């Protein structure tokens, strides 16, 4: 018994865990290897494990790898989709911040009747199926003339992003306490000065984390963009959807998949510095 | 819920604070700060839900249809056996993938709290699927799991099959292994993140205490660790399950075709040339919301009861 409990306490990996970590790495990263190969293949017939003809052998026909030549050309609409995705993400993030900052302040500091019901209402968008919201919103937006417009998509993206943003900002405000603001007030600072010189600088790390997460959620949204964009506005997820909707993946689709993955990798590297795992300790839902 | 109700202060609170004029100003200021978020969520989210319910009950004057309240659309929908098959498929994909992702996620979180070489690398690695759209996961599933895909080629390499048709069909069947694979791939990191965060917060003291008292590894996990990570488990699985019930792209591309999952069914109704079918689509949408709502509330209620039994509130 004693030796058993020793192993259970050890801060090292058990053999099973070591094996499991390798399996998980293969599960997560493995599929990207054939994806990369596919994007440089010229001909890749079953059952070859590697392409029968690489682009390199056919470079007389094309200077660029064929798939990448298409992906980087205007015909693929990749550039347009990237610009759309980033622009929509940025605007959504800014609006979401503006809406959630004051609300988070009240939620973190004030007590009022119905507060827990209100908090539950704020997290409802996370647990109401997206298809239900998307189709109902589309009906509404068609009536309002917002379907297929940037405004409609940006407004719709607020729904799934607000719950995360308000949660992360409330946690930041709770950590901040109100002593510093009160001291500044006592020393004669105006409300605006307090906001600019005390509150915002202290909030900044949390605000950056919330903004990054909101941007991430917005850039990953498929369903709302697809339903409400009416095919007129392409973002990276909807562009890729239209490429693979037939259930096959050719070399150019592989290239586009890699391009769609790229912003996520960049965000991952940036956000690892700002978003600490501990921030999620309180959970999302209840 | 109305915009004014949350801003009403607690009477006890009000008595403690200063004069009523200042109190009233503070209350107004509080309301002003909560107004934007209320406006967006009530108008958009609440509006969409109310409109969906009204329409599914026959209120669509812009189509020249106004038979409100008319339960015929629900009747027609719930009376057909394909609806129940669709509902069953939707819940089956959602439940199985959430359960698998939960097991994978908890195992990964438990491994991540240990110290090992390459831990920094793993902390980046496991979050990668979280950062990229579901459509990427679907593309990878097509590449790996289709009959001409990588697994099929590996099987041929190993001499198990000599024709793509002999590879067991994984995609486009009603078993939905392709859909489940995509959900698990995408959501394991989400659950890992939630559980790992809780594990970091609680530290290892309670586990150490249990070990000193002679508990074995199994007992420690089920009696000490699991109850503590339960809030993270419940909230993350709630979100994953709700998302899976309402997801469209994976079942649309990787699903087995008719009968489709409910979101795909609703989408097809909605895009039908016969636009009066849109009301049928709305009834489908409301049904998705109802089913998800009932299941999630049941889940939460069970969890709350468990918490009370545990002596937490």
Nearest by CB: B8 against A6, A113, A216: A113
Q: What is the pLDDT of residue A118?
A: 83
* pLDDT band for position B239 (cuts 50, 70, 90): confident
DSSP A43: E
The domains of chain B are located at: 5-56, 72-309
Tens-place pLDDT, residues A52-87: 777 766 666 666 777 777 778 888 788 888 999 999
For residue A286, pLDDT over 80 is answered with no
Q: Which of B3, B57, B133 should be substituted to probe chain A, the one whose Cβ sees the most A Cβ atoms within 10 Å?
A: B133
Q: CA B247, CA B267: separation in Å to the nearest integer?
A: 11
Q: Of residues B11 and B41, which shows the higher confidence score?
A: B41
pLDDT tens-digit series, residues A124-145: 888 787 888 888 888 888 888 8
* Out of A22-36, B1-15, B23-37, B144-158, least confident range: B1-15
Out of A9, A100, A220, whose CB is closest to B133? A220
Tell me: pLDDT of A96 over 90: yes
Of A32, A46, A216, the CB nearest to B164: A46
Sign of CA dihedral B260, B264, B265, B269: negative
Nearest-by-CA chain A residue for B234: A285
Q: Does residue A284 have a pLDDT over 70? A: no
Q: Which of B53, B269, B31, B79 is nearest to A128 (CA)?
A: B53
- Closest approach of chain B CAs to the CA of A67, in angstroms? 16
What residues does CATH 1.10.3720.10 cover in chain A? 74-280
Contact A244 B135 (CB under 8 A): yes
- When pLDDT is cut at 50, 70 and 90, the band that residue B104 belongs to is very high
- The residue in chain B having the minimum alpha-carbon distance to the alpha carbon of residue A266 is B131
Q: Are residues B1 and A114, on separate chains, in Cβ contact within 8 Å?
A: yes
Which fold would CATH assign to domain B72-309? MetI-like fold (1.10.3720)
Distances (CA, A) of B268 to B249, B264, B280: 13, 6, 10
Q: How would residue A285 be classed by pLDDT, with cut points 50, 70 and 90?
A: very low
Q: Right CATH number for A74-280 from 3.40.50.970, 3.10.20.600, 1.10.3720.10, 2.60.120.1090?
A: 1.10.3720.10
Q: At what angle do helices A130-144 and B47-56 cross, to 10 degrees?
A: 90
Q: What pLDDT score does B296 carry?
A: 87
CA–CA distance, B277 with A73 (Å, rounded to integer): 40
Give the confidence band of A93 by pLDDT, cuts at 50, 70, 90: very high
In this prediction, residue B3 carries a pLDDT of: 40
Span A92-104, mean pLDDT? 91
- pLDDT, tens only, B130-175: 888 888 999 888 888 887 788 888 887 887 877 777 777 777 777 7
Binary contact (B5, A159; C-beta < 8 A):
no
**Using CB atoms, which residue from B143, B200, B266 is nearest to A34?**
B143
Question: Which chain A residues have a beta carbon less than 8 Å from that of B185?
Answer: 27-28
């Amino acid at each position: 018994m004693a030796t058993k409990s020793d192993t259970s306490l050890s801060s090292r990996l058990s053999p099973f865990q070591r094996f499991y970590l390798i399996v998980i790495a293969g599960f997560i990263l493995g599929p990207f290897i054939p994806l990369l190969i596919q994007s440089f293949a010229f001909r890749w017939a079953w059952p070859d494990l590697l392409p029968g003809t690489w682009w390199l052998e056919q470079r007389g026909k094309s200077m660029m790898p064929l798939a990448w030549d298409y992906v980087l050309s205007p015909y693929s609409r990749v550039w347009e989709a990237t610009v759309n995705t980033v622009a929509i993400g940025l605007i959504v993030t800014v609006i979401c911040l503006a809406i959630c900052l004051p609300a988070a302040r009240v939620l973190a500091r004030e007590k009022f009747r119905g507060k827990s019901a209100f908090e539950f209402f704020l997290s409802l968008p996370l647990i109401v199926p997206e298809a239900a919201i998307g189709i109902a919103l589309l009906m509404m937006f068609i009536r309002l003339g917002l379907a297929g417009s940037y405004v409609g998509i940006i407004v719709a993206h607020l729904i799934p992003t607000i719950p995360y943003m308000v949660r992360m900002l409330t946690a930041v405000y709770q950590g901040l306490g109100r002593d510093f603001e009160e001291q500044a007030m006592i020393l004669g600072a105006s409300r605006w000065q307090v906001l600019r010189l005390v509150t915002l600088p202290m909030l900044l790390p949390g605000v950056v984390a919330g903004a990054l997460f909101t941007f991430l959620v917005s850039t990953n949204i498929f369903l709302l963009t697809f339903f409400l964009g009416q095919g007129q506005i392409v973002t990276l997820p909807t562009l890729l959807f239209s490429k693979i909707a037939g259930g096959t993946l050719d070399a150019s689709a592989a290239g586009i998949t890699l391009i769609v993955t790229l912003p996520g990798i960049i965000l991952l590297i940036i956000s690892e510095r700002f978003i600490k795992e501990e921030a999620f300790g309180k959970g999302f839902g209840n | 819920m109305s915009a004014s109700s949350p801003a009403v202060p607690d009477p006890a609170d009000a008595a403690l604070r200063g004069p009523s004029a200042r109190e009233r100003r503070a209350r107004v200021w509080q309301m002003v700060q909560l107004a934007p978020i209320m406006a967006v969520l009530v108008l958009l989210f609440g509006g969409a839900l109310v409109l969906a319910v009204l329409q599914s009950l026959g209120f669509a004057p812009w189509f020249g249809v106004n038979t409100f309240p008319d339960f015929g659309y629900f009747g027609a929908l719930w009376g057909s056996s394909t609806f129940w098959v669709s509902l069953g498929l939707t819940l089956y994909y959602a439940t199985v993938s959430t359960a698998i992702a939960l097991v994978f996620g908890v195992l990964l979180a438990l491994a991540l709290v240990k110290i090992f070489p390459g831990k920094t690398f793993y902390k980046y690695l496991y979050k990668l699927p979280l950062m990229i759209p579901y459509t990427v996961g679907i593309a990878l599933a097509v590449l790996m799991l289709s009959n001409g895909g990588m697994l099929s080629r590996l099987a041929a390499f190993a001499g198990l099959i000599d024709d793509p048709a002999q590879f067991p069909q994984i995609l486009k069947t009603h078993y939905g292994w392709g859909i489940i694979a995509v959900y698990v791939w995408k959501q394991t990191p989400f659950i890992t993140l939630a559980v790992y965060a809780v594990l970091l917060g609680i530290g290892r003291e309670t586990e150490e205490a249990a070990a000193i008292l002679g508990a074995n590894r199994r007992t420690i996990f089920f009696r000490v660790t699991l109850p503590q990570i339960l809030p993270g488990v419940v909230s993350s699985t709630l979100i994953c399950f709700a998302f899976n019930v309402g997801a469209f792209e994976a079942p649309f591309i990787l699903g087995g075709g008719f009968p489709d999952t409910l979101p795909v069914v609703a989408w097809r109704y909605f895009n039908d040339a016969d636009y009066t079918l849109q009301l049928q689509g709305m009834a489908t949408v409301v049904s998705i919301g109802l089913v998800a709502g009932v299941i999630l509330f049941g889940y939460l209620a069970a969890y709350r009861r468990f918490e009370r039994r545990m002596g937490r509130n």
